[in-house]
Amino acid sequence: MKMLSSLKFILTILSIIRGVEYHISFKRSQNSSSFPKRASFPSDFLFGVGSSSLQIEGDSLEGGGGKGVWEDIVERHKERFVDADKVSTMIEHYKRYKEDVKHLKYLGVNSYRMSISWSRILPDGTLKGGINKEGIKFYNNLINELLANGIEPFVTIVHFDYPVAIQQKIGGFLNHTIVKYYKDYCKLLFKTYGDRVKHWTTTNEPQVVAIYKYMHGYDNDAAEPCQDTKICSQAYTVLHNFLICHATATHLYRQQFQETQRGDIGIVISYQGFVPYSSKPEDVAAAQRLMDFWLGWILEPLFYGDYPQIMRKLVGNRLPKFTKKEKHMIKGSADFIGINYYTSQFARYEPNRTNINGLDNFDALATTSEEFNIEGKPLGHKDQYSGRYVYPKGLYDVLIFIKEKYQNPNIYITENGTPSSNNPNPLIDDHRIAYITEHINATKAAIDNGVKVRGYFVWTAFDTFEFEAGYSGHWGLYHVDFNNSLKRIPKASAKWYRNFLKSNGGH
Ligand code: FCB
């Protein structure tokens, strides 16, 4: 008990110091005449927008491609998804990539985060099943088009989606055999595109895949949201296999390609900020535990070779173990970390969870279901157009946290943005401009305090299929008009981003 209250005291002091640091840097950057100008960031800082193949391309079977698991899931569970009828065409980026690159060029971004569809390249997921030449050509064309327009591709190898065939054959990432297929796929990508792609990420948000698919049950027909820790255990196996895939790909890249191609490789993780619901020691400890269960789940193996001690203790035998060789391979296996940040949540001690809520984990003995803290205060402010809490300090805090706990790595903010679900006029999205400005400010404040942030990507370029919510969130800087041949129309935020990127001479 005594230890807990000293811990609480130290944490309170630390958070006060951090709050003051943040406030000073934030104010400094807001008041500074050079902010928010593009030129107050290094010239090689990447300012971009993001996307994923699954959410925009459509036409997965065109030119000989194969189906990905997500298209299949939506088709089989149409009732769960808004706009399920639009899944096969999405916003036709596959057909209209040239036009879309023009829109990116208009924004003035120097980088574009995209992903490659595994099933478009290898329709049945394996080399043996054959390479789809049309798929290879599509990404060659897209990459060349980007580069011809001065935009660097920042490429995700697996963004949620992978071939249905792999799912059917081996059960996807639940099966360790995936490592072999994934490695073949990566090798093909490095060989084919590595002369032009200088930033690779092995996977997007493996925690979300693990929790969402295996705890919420969006997997296959047998899927039911898990109701107890035992069933939820699959999530740990899935993430374990993702980590081994990640480390295998990094090793391959470093051994065979990096020296000549001179690129870097990292992983993209999701971060939900966790702030204690009250100053009670058990809530403070719950927030810390969630940090370990969410960020530490990936970063501890990546930087220190094994899962956080608290996870090993609470999950016990249900948490897979790394072999000695695997530990060695995983430790140090990222040149940078990609962070996707949207908002933060209150964390409260909850030893008897029985329901799924959000993306938190049963085993962490915590819940994130509170909208207000014990004093009745929300985190940041609730934005009426997105219906979400806007809390840029959560981004600042996690950047400082990673710097301090994980050896000050290079970081890209690979996703940050806001929906516009309740906005009566999707073209006037001032709330998005405010959101992006505040988060760029928080990024700048973190850089000023020594965090090595190398880039920032708005999610997302075009209105994008957002799973259950379909297109209803209008997430893009470009509106896509479904009543007018999918016309892309720049919103106020697109114009604002363009001006911001041009400010002080642009990049
Ligand atoms: C992230 C995903 C991205 C998008 C945004 C809104 O979790 O990586 O594909 O859906 O959320």
Q: Give the whole-angstrom CA distance, residue 161 versus residue 69.
A: 6
Per-residue pLDDT at 353: 74
Residues 6+ apart with CB under 8 A from 208: 160, 270, 359
Contact 356, 286 (CB under 8 A): no
Distance CA 321, CA 211 (A): 19
Alpha helices, DSSP H, located in 368-485? 392-405, 430-448
Reduced to 3 states, what is the DSSP secondary structure of residue 268?
strand
Q: Sort 315 into a burial class: Cβ within 10 Å, 0-12 / 13-18 / 19+.
A: buried
Q: Of all atoms in ligand 1, which is nearest to the CA of residue 54?
A: 9
**Are the C-beta atoms of residues 42 and 470 closer than 8 Å to each other?**
no
DSSP-based three-state secondary structure for 386: coil
Distance, C-alpha 413 to centroid of its chain: 9
Q: Ligand 1: which residue has its CA nearest to atom 6? A: 466
Our answer on whether the CB atom of 386 is closer than 6 Å to any ligand 1 atom is no
Which of 71, 350, 415, 438 is catalytic? The answer is 415
Mean pLDDT across the stretch 351-379? 84
CB of 471 sitting under 6 A from ligand 1: no
pLDDT value for 231: 59
pLDDT at 220: 47
| 101, 146 contact by CB (below 8 A) | yes
- Between the alpha carbon of residue 353 and those of residues 107, 226, 228, 415, the distances in Å are 45, 12, 8, 30
Tell me how far the alpha carbon of residue 85 is from its chain's centroid: 25
CA-to-CA distance for 22 and 321, rounded, in angstroms?
38
Question: With a 6 A CB cut-off, is 152 part of the ligand 1 pocket?
Answer: no
**What DSSP character marks residue 129?**
T
Given pLDDT bands bounded at 50, 70 and 90, which one contains residue 77? confident
Mutate to test the pocket of ligand 1, among 56, 204, 242, 340 (most ligand atoms within 8 A of CB): 340
Alpha-carbon gap, residue 367 to 282, rounded angstroms: 12
- 182-195 per-position pLDDT tens digit: 999 999 999 999 99
Distance CA 486, CA 480 (A): 5
Q: How many angstroms is it from 418 CA to the middle of ligand 1?
A: 10
Average pLDDT over residues 240-252: 98
N- to C-terminal Cα separation, the chain: 54
Task: Compute CA 135 distance to the chain's CA centroid, rounded to the nearest angstrom.
Answer: 24
Average pLDDT of the chain?
A: 90
Q: What is the mean pLDDT of residues 340-362?
A: 83
Task: Give the CA distances from residue 132 to residues 128, 137, 428, in Å, rounded to whole numbers and listed in that order.
Answer: 12, 9, 41
Give the right CATH number for 43-503 from 3.20.20.80, 1.10.3720.10, 3.30.70.2190, 3.40.50.2300. 3.20.20.80
Q: Ligand 1 pocket: which of 49, 157, 205 to mutate (most atoms <8 Å of CB)?
A: 205
Residue 274: enclosing H or E segment and its boundaries?
strand 264-276
| Residue linked to tokens 């189906």 | 67
pLDDT tens per residue, range 207-236:
988 887 766 666 544 456 666 666 578 889
The residue whose CA is least distant from atom 9 of ligand 1 is 52
Query: 102 is written with which tokens?
Result: 């023009």
Secondary structure (3-state) at 457: strand
Distance 197 CA to ligand 1 centre (A): 22
Q: Is 428 exposed, middle or buried (0-12, 13-18, 19+ CB in 10 A)?
A: middle
Report CA-CA distances (Å) from 361 to 149, 289, 355, 425. Answer: 43, 10, 10, 37
317 Cβ contact list (under 8 Å, min separation 6): none
- CA distances 223 to 73, 232, 470, Å, are 11, 11, 21
415 is catalytic: yes
Q: Residue range 336-351: average pLDDT?
A: 96
Calculate how far, in angstroms, residue 270's C-alpha sits from the geometric centre of ligand 1.
Answer: 9
Using only the alpha carbons of the chain, give its radius of gyration. Answer: 22
259 CB burial (10 A radius; 0-12, 13-18, 19+): exposed
Does the beta carbon of 204 lie inside 6 Å of ligand 1? yes
Ligand 1 atom index nearest CA of 417 = 6
- What is the Cα 162 distance to its own chain's centre? 16
Q: What is the pLDDT of residue 244?
A: 98
Tell whether the model's pLDDT for residue 483 goes beyond 70: yes
Q: What is the pLDDT of residues 24-73, one digit of tens each?
A: 554 444 444 445 689 889 999 999 999 999 999 999 999 999 999 999 98
Question: Which DSSP state fits 52?
Answer: -
pTM (whole model) above 0.85: yes
Whole-angstrom distance, CA of residue 53 vs CA of residue 119? 11
| pLDDT single digits (tens) 81-138 | 999 999 999 999 999 999 999 999 999 999 999 999 999 999 999 999 999 999 999 9
Residue 208 in contact with ligand 1 by CB distance below 6 A: yes
Task: Give me the DSSP letters along 342-373.
Answer: EEEEEEEE-TT--S--TT--GGGTEE---SB-
Identify which has the larger pLDDT, 297 or 209.
297
Q: Which atom of ligand 1 is nearest to the CA of 52?
A: 9
List beta partners, residue 154.
Answer: 113, 199
Distance from residue 9's CA to the centre of ligand 1 (Å): 36
Is 468 noted as a catalytic residue in this protein?
no
Instruction: Give the pairing of strands 336-349 and 366-367.
Output: antiparallel
Choose among 433, 286, 429: nearest CA to 362.
286
Report which residue type is found at 19: G
Take atom 10 of ligand 1 and give the residue whose Cα is closest.
466
| d(C-alpha 379, C-alpha 64), whole Å | 48
Exactly one of 205, 300, 350, 438 is catalytic; which is it? 205
Q: Would you say the CB of residue 459 lies under 6 angstroms from ligand 1?
A: yes
The C-alpha atoms of residue 322 and residue 328 are separated, in whole angstroms, by 9
Residue with tokens 């948490």: 319
